[in-house]
């Protein structure tokens, strides 16, 4: 499986989306910039930490990423519970910086790509902003 943190440039509210109220991208509004729909690399992989808890049988993997300026770190925690048929992922961005060059944030997304003919039986579960399944 491949995993990446990527981003889109956000709409500013003045980019004339056809049929739109031209609301800017922001909290609860995922709206990439009109004419710039390509994902960009948000961070690069730095290292992995493996944690095996012999008492509970839980295996955990912490993946560490950093931004291109090497000033911010992001983490992805993966947990495998004994006997479970699911894999738990938790991604922590620790805030999304607004750059001084354009005064804009980012529309950050997490992408997964399954390799080697992975069969998920057309099922994928995610939560609602950390609140519920």
Per residue in 107-125, pLDDT (tens digit) is 888 888 888 888 888 887 7
pTM of the model: 0.72
Task: State residue 70's pLDDT score.
Answer: 77
Give me 54's structure tokens: 């012999």
Asked if residues 60 and 79 have their Cβ atoms less than 8 Å apart, the reply is yes
């Amino acid at each position: 499986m491949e995993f990446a943190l990527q981003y889109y440039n956000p709409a500013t509210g003045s980019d004339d989306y056809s049929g739109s109220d031209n609301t800017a991208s922001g909290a609860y509004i995922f709206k990439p910039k009109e004419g710039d729909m390509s994902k960009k690399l948000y961070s690069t992989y730095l290292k992995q930490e493996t944690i095996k808890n012999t008492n509970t049988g839980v295996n955990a993997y912490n993946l560490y990423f950093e931004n291109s300026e090497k000033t911010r770190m992001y983490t992805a925690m993966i947990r495998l519970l004994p006997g479970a048929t699911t894999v738990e992922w938790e991604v922590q961005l620790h805030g999304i910086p607004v750059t001084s060059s354009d005064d804009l944030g980012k529309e950050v997304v997490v992408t997964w790509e399954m390799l080697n003919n992975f069969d998920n039986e057309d099922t994928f579960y995610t939560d609602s902003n950390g609140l519920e399944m």
